[in-house]
Structure 1
């Protein structure tokens, strides 16, 4: 199957996809700030350059896009029909890097929270953010929301 766009149009479209300051990330940051949490962004000294770092709580937050990080059984993770093998390798590489970074951070004493893009959609947003707040205050809730 060939791409529905020309190489130039596809290149332009892909160049517009942001890696930082995405809408899901901004939702989490706005919530944290509103509730008095102070944080740092994209700390390069930590593995995986976490999206949000809360040094006071020794916690890092990764806000994962469902497509880019291969969220299994999610309607937002659909493998493209063109260049399928390339995309599967790309996404598998992202997943591997995510796991290595999370493991290293946990072994270094950091609490690692992963929030999926789909958990920040309208129907789930409030529950997801309340779980995040409870996690930061030490309640025994799952670290992956």
Structure 2
């Protein structure tokens, strides 16, 4: 299960967060833990270089993409490799929507479309689509012509 996906700006302010199966009283802990983890490790990171951590029997994969940091937390079958695939799908979709790795302003300008992409990539803790072309077709909000 994908427990959380967070996207933050360089100042560690959360731009987008999606939690699934995480009690509301634990969400603050996860927000602060992930942003501190990223602040400590993402300085000087290369674009789209994935970092891996393990905490409280869950897996964490995070990366720097343009001016935003992306964190994915999973457990059980969502191990490091699967979470890395989730992040790859997210970064590819963001790049398609923004036209390049985004600045914070460009990310916020395209916020609605990015949220639609996130909904198509994963829903209720399960990865639904990792095919970039299918995600692009689905966020057009038109019925698919092929199944």
TM > 0.5 fold call: no
Structure-1-length-normalised TM-score: 0.32
- Give the structure with the higher percent strand: 2
Bigger radius of gyration: 1
Structure-2-length-normalised TM-score: 0.32
